[in-house]
Structure 1
Amino acid sequence: MSQIDDLPPLRDVIAAHDLRAKKSMGQNFLLDLNLTARIARVSGPLGGARVLEVGPGPGGLTRALLAEGAGRVVAIEKDARCLPALAEIAARYPGRLEVVSGDALEVDVPLEAPWRVVANLPYNVGTELLVRWLTPAAWPPPWESLTLMFQREVAERIVAAPGSKAYGRLAILAQWRCDARIAMTLPPEAFAPPPKVSSAVVHLTALPAPRFEADARVLSRVVAMGFNQRRKMLRAALKGLGPDIEDRLRAAGIAPTQRAEEVTLEQWCALARAVAEA
């Protein structure tokens, strides 16, 4: 593990501050600074960029972001045990790191748009945070890109194509408004403690406008209903939308006997428009 700055190695930081990862907080610390630097670079050139990080823990990715040139990093950390270690990083990079103590699900981001999100997300809140970032009240959002670590299974759901078992609501929400790709994968042994599954870094870039016209609330509702009963034909899964659902499906170019995983993003958007018109 090479050093990216003159701060102590992460294992020494963890030992000095007694930062044993807590399963209850979804913590798995990434200790290799080579890997944290690679993750930071996935988001693109960082010179002067404004970055939000969620769940920095002992600060491995935080240090990489700053070493790569981020102009300002706001790190939201719920675990108060980590704050002294993060304060040491803030002292090393004066004026460039702001540590916010709190829950990322509740804290307003104190950053001027546009900003990026780069984070090794806690497993227990990662998907909920992603959905919130993908469903703001207005589009384009205040963030320009998301570079996020997930369990590999979740990452595959984000980039999944129609017809696959991984294809579902998360793929629709992500691909409707973003370009999404898996940038790198990491084995369990890269973390301390090692999780039971592999992990992957997903990079999402916000599009200026959604790929296809649709009302966000209607689309989210229709897709959720379809995939909540994904084994059923859509005429049955979506019957709660009204007695004329088969007509709406046909208007969108979807056979009523199709199942949710067979419907393309463009067709889902067409269905959302047909339902909204009704």
Structure 2
Amino acid sequence: MAELTPLKDVVSRFGLDARKALGQHFLLDETVCARIARLPGDLAGRHVLEVGPGPGGLTRALLAAPIAHLTAVELDQRALAALAELDEAYPGRLTVLRQDAMKFDGTTLPAPRQVVANLPYNVGTPLLIGWLREAGSWERMTLMFQEEVALRIVAPPRTEHYGRLAVLAQWVAHCSIGIRLPPGAFRPPPKVHSAVVIVTPHAEQPEPALFRAMERVTAAAFGQRRKMLRGSLKSLGAAEALLAQCGIAGERRAEELTVAEFDSLAKAVHARLDDGGGPIQDAPE
């Protein structure tokens, strides 16, 4: 393999100044990139999706692992030329697509498949929710977020960060923080710390209609989180009866409920659909 251009030189050579509009903060420390690439465990034979590779720091670390193939989705035209050097250095192991990651269907990649990415800050959460909807299609997701978002994913009930994102994520996967990084690890340094979350989907996954029911329940419950559940769940219809059916007191608030209790509520709402009780619409992001 030919010697690669140092990452700092890649940024300079291709004019890859990070752009706020694209949520870019580049990770150029190759030691840190290697640590992140080890977090998913053994990647031998895996087809890996990376979103927002930028100058390719994490891309290099992933290609150094025994993966079957890496697909990198990048919207920034400037980065494509920088990544071309990696394509030449690792022939047949890298596919770079200039595409909006929000519109890319990663389940088209061969299995077993994983996501490993330093996600652009401005689309990290909606990307995660999209992957959670099809969590059974992924072996694991190793994802960099702003630390506050990472804490919202792994938070337990009755804590400051517990909310809709925690329930959705922990309902379908085991979630943990693998590494925390200070602003100085990035160029340019963001104003906040970052963290990598390891999301390992459960063996059993809800069907799409049940996931939509959970989205609707959590949107209602946390949309008015200061209200008691008997009030915040009114939009679902017959909130008191719904709560009684699940053995949940109407005086409780959303942040007090466990993921298992939200599971009961989602299943009850889903059953209404099966009984002809009206369509369940997608909840807003």
Q: Report the TM-score when normalising by structure 1.
A: 0.93
Which of the numbers 31, 34, 37 marks the counterpart of 1:40?
A: 37
Q: Report the TM-score when normalising by structure 2.
A: 0.91
Q: Does 1:193 align with 2:188?
A: yes
Which of the numbers 256, 263, 266 marks the counterpart of 1:262?
A: 256
- Residues 50 and 59 in structure 2, CA contact (< 8 A), matched pair in contact too: yes
Which of the numbers 122, 125, 132 marks the counterpart of 2:123?
A: 125
2:132 corresponding residue in structure 1: 134
Q: Does 1:113 align with 2:107?
A: no
2:149 corresponding residue in structure 1: 154
SS in 2 for 1:15: helix
2:51 corresponding residue in structure 1: 54
Q: What is the deviation of 1:275?
A: 2.6
1:83 corresponding residue in structure 2: 80
- Residues 37 and 68 in structure 1, CA contact (< 8 A), matched pair in contact too: no
- The aligned amino acid for 2:264 is A
- Residues 5 and 67 in structure 1, CA contact (< 8 A), matched pair in contact too: no
User: 1:236-270, CA deviations, whole angstroms, 9 ceiling, x for partnerless residues?
Assistant: 1111212x311211221211011100011111111
How many correspondences in the alignment? 270
Q: What is the deviation of 1:38?
A: 0.5
- Residues 225 and 253 in structure 2, CA contact (< 8 A), matched pair in contact too: yes
Distance 2:109 2:221 in 1: 37
Structure 1 stretches (4+) deviating beyond 3 angstroms? none
- Residues 213 and 270 in structure 2, CA contact (< 8 A), matched pair in contact too: yes
User: 1:18-51, CA deviations, whole angstroms, 9 ceiling, x for partnerless residues?
Assistant: 1100011000000100000000100111223210
- The aligned amino acid for 2:241 is D
Q: What is the deviation of 1:5?
A: 8.1
% same residue: 54
Q: Does 1:103 align with 2:100?
A: yes
Distance 2:242 2:102 in 1: 36
User: 1:74-110, CA deviations, whole angstroms, 9 ceiling, x for partnerless residues?
Assistant: 0000000001110000100000000001111112335
Distance 1:265 1:182 in 2: 18
- 5+ long unaligned stretches in structure 2: 273-285
1:172 corresponding residue in structure 2: 167
My pick for the range that moved more, 185-194 or 160-169, is 160-169
Distance 2:2 2:89 in 1: 9
SS in 2 for 1:11: helix
Distance 1:73 1:5 in 2: 19
SS in 2 for 1:215: helix
Distance 1:6 1:168 in 2: 47
Distance 2:43 2:268 in 1: 43
User: 1:145-199, CA deviations, whole angstroms, 9 ceiling, x for partnerless residues?
Assistant: 0000000000000001010121111111111111110000000000000000000
- The aligned amino acid for 1:218 is A
Query: Which aligned pairs between 1:204-223 and structure 2 lie closer than 5 A?
Result: 204-210=199-205, 215-223=210-218
- 5+ long unaligned stretches in structure 1: none
- Residues 2 and 89 in structure 2, CA contact (< 8 A), matched pair in contact too: no
RMSD: 1.7
- The aligned amino acid for 1:166 is H
Q: What is the deviation of 1:68?
A: 1.8
- Residues 246 and 264 in structure 2, CA contact (< 8 A), matched pair in contact too: yes
Q: What is the deviation of 1:218?
A: 1.1
1:246 corresponding residue in structure 2: 240
SS in 2 for 1:75: strand
